[in-house]
Amino acid sequence: MEQYRIMKSYVGAILIPFDFSLTPEQTAEVFAIADAALEAASDEDLFSDTVRISLDQLIEPSIKKWHVELLDHVQAVRDAAPDYVTPYLATEASPEEIEQLMTRFAVKDWDSLEAELRKEIRTCLAGLDNEKIRQYDAVTVKDLVFAELRSWC
């Protein structure tokens, strides 16, 4: 039983990724896979490298899949964000705020302002970590973009 506990600790400490966080559901799935593998293992296997190798082989594909899904998701959000500049300028920004933005970014016309703000939003979102971006989707990132643009006025 002690070796079983040690192997579950191994899953939490070694197999759970450090470069991105799993959702609670994904974490539960990892531990369910580990529990099934550990319960099926013989007592002898629990004390060998065989069980650790087996756990790696069972869990790693899911971790890789989830990581790719996360990267695809945050890239889609980052790609969608600059598209909210035009709606902001057209519907949210007052003439005074547009003038402030033109002054701040040293541009003279609407097209230049729009291009500059799109570039700045891309830069802003590129600087946010994936865990922050993960909270949004291609629609709700509008709130983040609008808030950022408002803060520049």
pLDDT in tens, 55-114: 899 999 999 999 999 999 999 999 999 999 999 999 999 999 999 999 999 999 999 999
d(CA 121, CA 131): 18
Quote the DSSP letter at residue 121.
Answer: H
Question: Quick one: tokens of 87?
Answer: 């709606």
Contacts of 62 (CB under 8 A, 6+ apart): 26, 29, 30, 33
Q: What is the pLDDT of residue 4?
A: 66
Whole-model pTM above 0.75?
yes
Burial 62-90 (b: 16+ CB within 10 A, else e): ebeebeeebeebbeebbebbbebbeebbe
d(CA 58, CA 34): 8
